[in-house]
Amino acid sequence: VVTLTSGTGPGWQYQWKKGSSNIAGATASSYSTNKTENGSFSVVITMLTGCSSTSAATTITRMNLPAAIITVIGNLDICSTGQVTLQALNGSGYSYQWQKNSANISGATNQNYLATVLGNYKVIITGSNGCIKTSTVKKVTKSCKMGEAGEVNESEISIFPNPNSGAFEMVFKSFGEEKSGMLSIFDLSGRKVYQQQIEIYNGELSSKITLRDILRNGVFIVELLTSEGKHQKMMVVAK
Structural domain boundaries in the chain: 3-60, 70-140, 147-237
Cis status, amide bond into 163, omega within 30 of 0: yes
Rounded to an integer, what distance in angstroms lies between the CA atom of residue 187 and that of residue 183? 14
In which order are the strands placed within the sheet that holds 218-226?
Answer: 192-199, 180-187, 218-226, 229-237
- The answer to whether residue 148 scores a pLDDT higher than 50 is no
Rounded to an integer, what distance in angstroms lies between the CA atom of residue 71 and that of residue 88? 6
Equal fold, 70-140 vs 147-237: yes
Q: For the domain 147-237, what is the CATH superfamily, name and number?
A: Macroglobulin (MG2) domain (2.60.40.1930)
Please report the pLDDT score of residue 63 as a whole number: 85
Categorize the per-residue pLDDT at 152 as very low, low, confident or very high, splitting at 50, 70 and 90: very low
Please report the pLDDT score of residue 232 as a whole number: 86
What is the pLDDT averaged over residues 106-122? 93
pTM confidence score: 0.50
Q: Phi/psi of residue 27, each to 5°?
A: -125, 20
Mean pLDDT of the chain: 89
Please report the pLDDT score of residue 86 as a whole number: 97
- The answer to whether residue 183 scores a pLDDT higher than 80 is yes
Largest Cα–Cα separation, the chain: 98
CB atoms within 10 A of CB 123: 28
Q: CA angle, corner 173, sides to 168 and 179, nearest 5?
A: 95
Burial class (CB in 10 A: 0-12, 13-18, 19+), 121: buried
- The answer to whether residue 124 scores a pLDDT higher than 50 is yes
For the 70-140 domain, the top CATH level (class) is mainly beta
Rounded to an integer, what distance in angstroms lies between the CA atom of residue 55 and that of residue 29? 12
Please report the pLDDT score of residue 144 as a whole number: 64
Rounded to an integer, what distance in angstroms lies between the CA atom of residue 66 and that of residue 129? 9
- The answer to whether residue 217 scores a pLDDT higher than 60 is yes
CA atoms lying within 13 Å on the CB side of residue 211: 25
